[in-house]
Structure 1
Amino acid sequence: MNKVMPLVRRGVNASRLALGCMPFGGSWDSEPFTEQHVKEAEAAVEAALEIGITMFDHADIYTRGKAEQVFGRILQAKPELREQIIIQSKCGIQLSDDQLPGRFNFSYDHIVQSVDDSLERLGIDYLDVLLLHRPDPLVEPDEVAEALAVLKAAGKVRYFGVSNMSAPQIEFLQQAIPDSFAVNQLEMSLGHLHFVDQDIHVNQQAGTNVHFGSGLMEYCRSRHIQLQAWGPLAQGKFSGRNVDDQPEHIRQTAALVQQLADQKDTTPEAIVLGWLMRHPAMIQPIVGTTNPERIKACQDAEHQAEQMSRDEWYQLYTSARGQMVP
């Protein structure tokens, strides 16, 4: 493959894989993080850097802010690292508390304050990329546009994007925002196939059970919006985690993944990610684990994507679906 990632096309020096930092900091309660949590995060970051990952994905809500705090500790110990990496974070979700349920918030005040809080926790002056985390039904595009303009003018954010949004939702926001969105982060994997199923089920009854967003892949590709995949390893169900507890077609797919890994002298993780990266949209997987060995097991993914044949790709897809294509 000699195609260029959309993020790289825009001048963002993003690696082909990114590390998701959602597990950093321990639990999702009010308990503070510990030195052990910092050490675990340091080991994960070192493993990522060792295999060429230079992009790190955060959100203001991850472990209730502790993930960013822990990452800030790493940057504090190694300040030279900041200019060597790409830091992406998200805002727009407010977690439930004793008085209010979980909710979404794209108001001007919330977006601006969320970024200031993230920068403080991370101990940095700017984010490379900020994503609007999930669609807010009460969104006012002009209000979002004002917030993003203020953040960019202040040098606090370089690029903006979205997460978990459809093409019409992006277009609705984009009409008020002069800078085109750089990213859309969505769940995509061998275990979550709607992004492929959506395309093959046009004029098919089976398409009524597919939930991804008609034309979303094509929309993002035509506008050079980087598609990022959260959950790309499908919680390890194809690479050895609790395989015996899975349905028959998942067990068969895990066996096929292992067979291909053995044939190609690589890891199951590289095959699973390579399948995703073989898609011509140049999908960027966000690998979410603190296990250094599992991170390192992803190293060969780009090479496997380059080498994967059409037949192998469809073998994996059809097996993971558990049924033939229409």
Structure 2
Amino acid sequence: MKQVKIGNSEFKASAVALGIMRMDKLSVDEAVTILEETKNDGINFIDSANVYGMGKAEEIFGKAFKKSSLTRSDFYIQSKGGIYCNPDRNMEITRYDFSQANLINTVDGILQRMGIDYLDSFLLHRPDALMDPAEIATAFDILQRDGKVRHFGVSNLNPLQVELIQSGINQKLLINQLQFGVMHTGPVDFGIHTNMLDKRSIDHDGGVLEYSRLHNMTIQAWSPFQYGQFEGTFIDDPNHQEVNDELQKLGDKYHVSKNAIATAWILRHPAKLQVIAGTMNPMHLRDSAKGADVELTAQEWYDIYMAAGNDLP
């Protein structure tokens, strides 16, 4: 499995990671299978969040990890926190909360559910409009001092939000987790359409892709096979026939699946992204991960981009 360097650290991991958002739907034995097959396929990075299944995904992971033949050194384990689910409102998401107390309590809960002593990385999950860099700094210092978190990052934050947090903390933010893929191309659209007046020329995220490259932040692409935000997968969707035809053509050329080509498309970008695959099917995961070994040409990358409904000005 191709390796990517995480941020500007010596922290290296597989180019494809396993996201466990759907692990709460599995039995412990099923989770054992996916974890062991993940390791056998060369994937050594696990991504989670405290809100996945309201914590149940991490509980299943913890039980499965303990029951498996795996050891802590087999995986880099990452989780996210900062989304507050209010127990007084039926666990509804009522705010984002980067307060010192909430961040520390969140990490403690994650470690307990997952049955581990530390996280390799902890990300702030979606921006808190009321965030205070001084409170974040205190939380990060305590978590690192106590050996509970080794590295830090963010998820779905724009460059100015990253700069604001970075200005107040002692650790380097290594990661920004963002939605990016064949059918979610906003981070590259506005750059291609610079000095144009069409919709794709609008910068929705503050130039986060270019910012991340300049500051050596690794972008982790979530929902890589989705269109829109949560509408569904575009793979084999007849409403997205042109892009599926292009993926199939290249899949035939490289002897891999359409999912693998969609993975290769993300990894072809020189920003050295990491792909978070969220399937709980070992065969599907292995199938998608094969894209890490496919090096698309520049023309093939653009052909897929165009087939996805984009244009070049």
Give the TM-score range, shorter chain: over 0.9
Aligned twin of 1:160: 152
Alignment of 1:1-326 (within 5 A): 5-7=4-6, 10-26=9-25, 37-78=27-68, 80-99=70-89, 101-207=93-199, 210=202, 212-234=204-226, 237-240=233-236, 243-244=237-238, 246=239, 250-304=240-294, 306=295, 308-320=296-308, 322-326=309-313
Amino acid in structure 2 at the alignment position of 1:91? G
Deviation at 1:97, TM superposition (A): 4.8
Amino acid in structure 2 at the alignment position of 1:286? I
* Identity percentage of aligned residues: 36
TM-score by length of 1: 0.89
2:189–2:201 CA contact under 8 A, matched in 1: no
Q: Deviations over 1:207-251 (max 9, x none)?
A: 4674542321111111111110000122774432xx12x2xxx21
2:175–2:219 CA contact under 8 A, matched in 1: yes
Amino acid in structure 1 at the alignment position of 2:312? V
Q: Alignment length, in residue pairs?
A: 306
SS of the residue 1:229 aligns to: strand
Q: Deviations over 1:294-324 (max 9, x none)?
A: 10102321221x2x1111100000111x242
Deviation at 1:49, TM superposition (A): 1.4
- Which structure 2 segments of 5+ residues have no match? none
Partner Cα distance (1:101, 1:325) in 2 = 40
Partner Cα distance (1:201, 1:96) in 2 = 42
Partner Cα distance (1:23, 1:211) in 2 = 31
1:7–1:13 CA contact under 8 A, matched in 2: yes
Deviation at 1:275, TM superposition (A): 0.5
Amino acid in structure 2 at the alignment position of 1:77? K
Say if 1:43 and 1:79 are closer, same or farther in 2 by CA, change over 3 A.
closer
Q: Deviations over 1:67-115 (max 9, x none)?
A: 1111111221247521111000000001255536531000000000000
SS of the residue 1:14 aligns to: strand
Partner Cα distance (1:138, 1:180) in 2 = 21
Worse-matched range after superposition: 200-209 or 52-61: 200-209
Say if 1:79 and 1:261 are closer, same or farther in 2 by CA, change over 3 A.
closer
Worse-matched range after superposition: 291-300 or 136-145: 291-300
Aligned twin of 1:33: none
Aligned twin of 1:30: none
SS of the residue 2:161 aligns to: helix
Say if 1:44 and 1:79 are closer, same or farther in 2 by CA, change over 3 A.
closer
Higher strand share: 2
